[in-house]
């Protein structure tokens, strides 16, 4: 889910150096125009060390072209180191 990835990348100091595991992504529609996305991402932590994280993001679709980030609102995000 590309829009979710764009929001997750914003949580990192080096967003271009993040990578997402496609097989771990799960999404769920929780009500009309709202969904959650759960997945795994690898990115550099505050010390510049590549680290794996689990993320869950709640998104609200505002309407318009679905592939444009401006048409989505991030309601909440949780990003935790995967151990």
- The predicted-structure confidence for 22-77, as pLDDT tens digits, reads as follows 887 899 999 999 999 999 999 999 899 999 999 999 999 999 999 999 999 999 99
Is residue 40 within 8 A of residue 54, CB to CB? The reply is yes
Q: Are 36 and 57 in contact (CB under 8 A)?
A: yes
Confidence (pLDDT) at 74: 97
pLDDT tens, residue by residue, 9-20: 999 999 999 999
The candidate with the shortest Cα–Cα distance to 81, out of 16, 31, 11, is 11
pTM: 0.91
Q: Tokens 């829009």 sit at which residue?
A: 3
Supply the pLDDT for residue 83. 82
- Are 33 and 73 in contact by the 8 Å Cβ rule? The answer is no
């Amino acid at each position: 889910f590309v829009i979710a990835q764009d929001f997750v990348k914003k949580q990192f100091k080096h967003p271009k150096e993040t990578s997402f595991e496609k097989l771990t992504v799960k999404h769920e529609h929780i009500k009309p125009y709202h969904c959650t996305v759960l997945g795994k991402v690898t990115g550099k932590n505050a010390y510049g060390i590549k680290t794996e994280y689990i993320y869950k993001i709640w998104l609200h679709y505002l309407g318009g072209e679905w592939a444009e980030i401006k048409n989505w609102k991030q309601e909440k995000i949780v990003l935790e180191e995967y151990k």
